[in-house]
Amino acid sequence: MSDAGSIKVLAVCGSLRKASYNMAALRVAIAQKPAGMTVEVADISQIPPYNEDVRQQGFPPTVETLRRQIAAADALLFACPEYNYSMSGVLKNAIDWASRPPDQPFAGKPCAIIGAAAGMAGSARAQYDLRRSCVFLDMHPLNKPEVLIGQAQTKFDAEGNLTDEAARGFIRDLMANLAGWARLHRKR
């Protein structure tokens, strides 16, 4: 945990694609973070497929790193793409690995979700599924504003810059609210 005035956020992007709209949205969130907030981006690209037989012998180093990062964070920020009406397999896999006992690190963590997708709903279904996992794992998802960047291919330019001002505003507001949400949960 960070000191009383600062907020340490761990960001997790559920897309591994180099030109991911979700990673681009995450970069916007980091650029618009409020004063006193730091954001570290977790690397989930090397986490192997979940296998309980492997876990019983110990967590792989990439999973140990993610679990330590989650435990040290004041809050989490998920960038959630939508694949086949749900969250991506790599995001679900990372959550499944990190959530295994002992000392499940998600419990009590405030979190926020942003998402970009090619469809009109802008990752709404994927975010709903992620929220269900958050509830089960005892995380505390921030409810407003929702950041659902629909038709993402029309909202980012060729360099990955978010050109939609409304989406930028929602992301800015979400980051401010996440700071307050993290401080509120720190007092509990």
In this structure, which amino acid lies at residue 72?
A
List C-alpha distances in Å: 113 to 116, 118, 126.
10, 17, 10
Instruction: Please give the Cα distance from 144 to 121 (Å, whole number).
Output: 16
Tell me the pLDDT tens digit for each residue of 63-119: 999 999 999 999 999 999 999 999 999 999 999 999 999 999 999 999 999 999 999
Burial zone of 186 (CB within 10 Å; 0-12 exposed, 13-18 middle, 19+ buried): middle
Pick the CATH number of 7-186 from 3.20.20.140, 3.40.50.360, 3.40.50.300, 3.40.50.2300: 3.40.50.360
Predicted confidence at residue 1, as pLDDT, reads 53
Nearest to 152 by CA among 109, 114, 107, 119: 119
Q: For residues 14 and 79, what is the distance between their CA atoms, to the nearest angstrom?
A: 6
pTM of the model: 0.96
